């Protein structure tokens, strides 16, 4: 993981198992200048790495993968 935000988002998704993009944006609010841009970059990176995946339960909902669960424990 290349930044602290990825680790923080992954940890939150691993704890909740499912997380909407709006929740990720709220998590980053007040920590970065542009939370929407940072959320998009972070989610994209975590999906590419196989730590989270798009969940078929709703629009912009992400689920943690087994690989993501292992990485979040570290």
pLDDT at 58: 76
Cβ-contact 72, 1 below 8 angstroms: no
Per-residue tokens: 2: 């290349």
CATH code (residue 13) = 1.10.10.10
pLDDT band of 8, cuts 50, 70, 90:
very high
Note the pTM of the prediction, 2 decimals: 0.89
pLDDT band of 2, cuts 50, 70, 90:
low
**pLDDT tens track for 47-72:** 999 999 999 887 889 999 999 999 99
Q: How many domains does the chain have?
A: 1
| Gap between the terminal Cα atoms of the chain | 12
**pLDDT tens track for 20-38:** 999 999 999 999 999 999 9
């Amino acid at each position: 993981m290349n930044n602290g935000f990825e680790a923080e988002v992954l940890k939150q998704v691993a704890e909740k198992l499912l997380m909407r993009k709006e929740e990720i944006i709220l998590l980053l609010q007040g920590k970065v200048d542009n939370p929407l841009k940072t959320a998009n970059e972070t989610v994209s990176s975590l999906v590419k790495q196989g730590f989270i995946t798009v969940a078929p339960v709703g629009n912009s909902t992400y689920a943690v993968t087994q690989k993501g669960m292992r990485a979040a424990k570290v």
